[in-house]
């Protein structure tokens, strides 16, 4: 019964987070717009679609995580939200700086252009979801891979997961691809590597190591 009572609150929270993510992308794309103005600049139909998507994902995650053991649920929840936060702030912020300061990337990030491979989903929203799902995999790796107790092992894993793993999504979502020639390799290392390092650092308070 408590689960049923909590579902409307979970759906509302998911919808609100999705709309805030969309507004953040619009602000990053157009400058320092207030959040209400950023939302008003988006069509009502698109706002409804994004809110419904956020609510559906929040409900699905709640129902899937409910029966899981606490240590596994903590890794999945923590991995998703730290991955989202790291993508929203660090990876996209790095792309913004790389574009404006070094002209190392073709766009400054925070793009709301539709992604055809994902049914027209805004690129920024797709990146947040990709960061969250990749964060889940990274959290599970930190929890279960051997030698993660060694000093700095989780940071090395995060850097590799970003620079080598996240870059493999370049054909689907707008992340810098892995490339040998400059500025491809170092732009990828800075942008995608910052996502991995940020996610691992945000995971540390969850104390996943040794959890069973």
Residue 78's nearest CA partner among 146, 15, 17, 132 is 132
Same domain, 49 and 73: no
Cβ atoms within 10 A of the Cβ of 107, count?
A: 13
Q: Which of 30-44, 77-91, 154-168, 175-189 has the lowest mean pLDDT?
A: 30-44
Q: What is the pLDDT of residue 192?
A: 94
Same domain, 162 and 202: yes
Q: What is the pLDDT of residue 210?
A: 47
**Average pLDDT for residues 55-62, to the nearest whole number?**
83
Query: CB of 212 within 8 A of CB of 71?
Result: yes
Give pLDDT tens digits for 61-108.
Answer: 778 777 777 777 778 888 988 999 999 999 999 999 999 999 888 888
Q: DSSP string spanning 32-92?
A: S--HHHHHHTS-HHHHHHHHHHHHHHHHHHHHHHTTS-HHHHHHHHHHHHHHHHHIIIIIH
Same domain, 30 and 97: no
Question: Where in the sequence is the domain holding 198, given as residue range(s)?
Answer: 69-212
Q: Give me the residues paired with residue 115 across strands.
A: 121
Same domain, 122 and 133: yes
Task: State the total domains in the chain.
Answer: 2
Domain termination residue (choose one: 10, 39, 67): 67
Query: What does pTM read for this prediction?
Result: 0.77
Give pLDDT tens digits for 9-51.
Answer: 888 888 887 877 777 666 655 555 555 555 556 677 877 888 8
Residue 30's nearest CA partner among 21, 38, 22 is 38
Using alpha carbons only, give the angle 188, 105, 80 rounded to the nearest 5 degrees: 50
């Amino acid at each position: 019964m408590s689960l049923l009572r909590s579902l409307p609150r979970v759906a509302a929270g998911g919808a609100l987070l999705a709309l805030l993510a969309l507004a953040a992308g619009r602000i990053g794309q157009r400058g320092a717009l207030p959040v209400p103005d950023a939302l008003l600049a988006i069509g009502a139909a698109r706002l409804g679609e994004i809110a419904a998507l956020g609510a559906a994902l929040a409900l699905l995650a709640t129902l899937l995580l409910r029966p899981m053991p606490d240590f596994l649920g903590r890794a999945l929840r923590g991995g998703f939200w730290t991955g989202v936060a790291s993508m929203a702030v660090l990876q996209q912020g790095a792309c913004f700086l790389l574009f404006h300061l070094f002209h190392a990337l073709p766009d400054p990030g925070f793009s709301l252009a539709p992604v055809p491979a994902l049914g027209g989903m805004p690129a920024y929203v797709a990146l947040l979801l990709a960061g969250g799902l990749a964060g889940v995999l990274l959290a599970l790796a930190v929890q279960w891979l051997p030698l993660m107790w060694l000093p700095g092992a989780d940071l090395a894993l995060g850097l590799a997961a970003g620079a080598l793993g996240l870059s493999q999504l370049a054909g689907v979502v707008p992340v810098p691809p892995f490339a040998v020639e400059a500025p491809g390799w170092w732009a990828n290392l800075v942008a995608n590597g910052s996502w991995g390092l940020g996610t691992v650092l945000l995971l540390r308070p969850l104390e996943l190591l040794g959890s069973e």
